[in-house]
Amino acid sequence: MTNLSLRVDPVDALIDVPRRITVSGAKPGALVTIGTETSRSGHPWLSRAVFRADAVGAVDLGRDAPVGGDYAGVSDMGLIWSQVSPTGGARDHAQFNASTAEPLVTRLTVSADGAEARADLVQRLLAPGVVREEISEGGIVGVLYRPPGAGPFPAVMFLNGSNGGVNEPRAALMAAKGYHAMTLAYFGYAGVQRHISNTRLEYFADALDWLRARVQPKDGFVAVSGQSRGGELALLLGATYPDKVSAVAGWVPSAFVHGGQAAADPAHGRDGPSWLLNDVPLVHIWNDNRAASWAPYDEGAPPRRNSKAMVTALGDPQACARARIPVERIRGPVLLISGGDDGAWPSDLYALMVQASLTAAGHPHPVVWKNWPEAGHSILFPHVPTTRISSVHPVSGVLTTNGGTAAANAEANLGAWAAMQAWLAQATGRETD
């Protein structure tokens, strides 16, 4: 009779904290199966892996690779990032609960030689003392998370990509690190326009002013961090309003202004403008482009790969020059995060172009570029499922792939979040505190 035991350490912590998961009490050399189940937005997400117990009947996920199951190689949190939803949650439903105050609780079950043991793993987005505020004031819409304590604290504004809406999980977690974190809505959310088409840049300038006035950030520091189309927008805002943006983080960004694409208002079409400045559309890379073609995307087999169309536009140097974001105007540190197998657009090439432009201009502030060659477009933060490679776009309704593999995307999540924390610490002077 075995005395099987399963241990998680720590049991309850913020979502980006790694856990040590160990098994003891199995027979030496026995096959040990560990399964997980997490309810995410009401849908079960599951994983399973089989291990060979060592000479003393123990398994340590930070030491041992599974001999079978849903992931390969040594990974202390492999049972989390390899989770999938058998009911369709991987495609149609969020990986997080509706409220950031509601933790994700994973039940782990271990079985070996007829014995069984269980343990829980609790992941939180909201740290004790963090305050959430819904914002709908003076035309500014979003959600603000304030860190605990008296401050003052620096601030970060988050911008979502072509999915629209707001990114509360990222903002909540950033507030836990000691930053005022606002996730700004600009389309696809109550109180703002439905599509990305004809979005006024002045809205973001007003939002930056509002944020500074509301939170009084330390040393006036407000960084802008954007994902995908939000990464394009973050670089664009830094270049357009350099006196308002203290630093720019572009996660899988573009080096060019793009049209509406998948998030466009059907009345304007995917080749219509995304951004307006003084009510004038910004020239985007598809405008009068002699090489650009949607055929590689439109005629591709599902899941379609948007990046195949995006690279065609690079064949017209004049069009590229007209649509290039003048990143040399940015007056602060820049962070670039990219994946080499990005299915949405070539974020690694775009990031290289941005870095090259800043270097050529003698940019006086730190520029950090982190690239994961086998990762795709969906780079977030650590210890979340990364198996959602292909999905139906929430605006266009087309099945597309973001690229990468679950393992590569998990590695990118871990490295990118660490890079963001180190970059912000340097940008705000915290690394010398």
Amino acid 386: pLDDT: 96
Q: Is 274 a catalytic residue?
A: no
> Tell me, what's the pLDDT at 90?
47
Mean of the per-residue pLDDT values for the chain? 95
Please tell me the distance from the alpha carbon of residue 232 to that of residue 213, in angstroms, as a whole number.
Answer: 25
| pLDDT (tens digit per residue) in 269-290 | 999 999 999 999 999 999 999 9
The whole-number pLDDT of residue 198 equals 98
Could you give the domains of the chain?
Answer: 5-124 (2.60.40.2240), 131-432 (3.40.50.1820)
Which of 342, 348, 357, 378 is the catalytic position?
Answer: 342
- What pLDDT is attached to residue 409? 98
The per-residue pLDDT for 2 is 65
Digit-coded pLDDT (tens) for 311-331: 999 999 999 999 999 999 999
Distance CA 404, CA 174 (A): 25
Q: So what's the pLDDT on residue 100?
A: 97
For the cut 80, the answer to whether the pLDDT of residue 396 exceeds it is no
As a whole number, mean pLDDT of residues 104-124 equals 97
Catalytic residue among 47, 85, 225, 228: 228
Based on the residue annotation, tell me whether 9 is a catalytic residue of this protein: no
H-only helix segments in 241-365: 295-298, 307-310, 317-323, 347-360
Q: Which residues pair with 60 in a beta bridge?
A: 22
Is 195 annotated as catalytic? Answer: no
Tokens linked to 203: 């809205």
pLDDT of residue 83: 97
**pLDDT above 90: residue 20:** yes
Q: Which residues pair with 146 in a beta bridge?
A: 131
Tell me which of 195, 258, 363, 377 is the catalytic residue: 377
Condensed to tens digits (0 to 9), the pLDDT of residues 59-94 reads 999 999 999 999 999 999 999 999 999 876 544 457
Taking the mean position of all CA atoms in its chain, how far away is CA 81? 14
β-strands 180-184, 155-159 pairing: parallel
Work out the pLDDT band at 418, boundaries 50, 70, 90: very high
Quick one: pLDDT at residue 398?
82
Region 109-118 average pLDDT: 97
Strands 59-60 and 20-24, bridge-based pairing: antiparallel
The three-class DSSP label of residue 110 is: strand
Length of the chain: 433
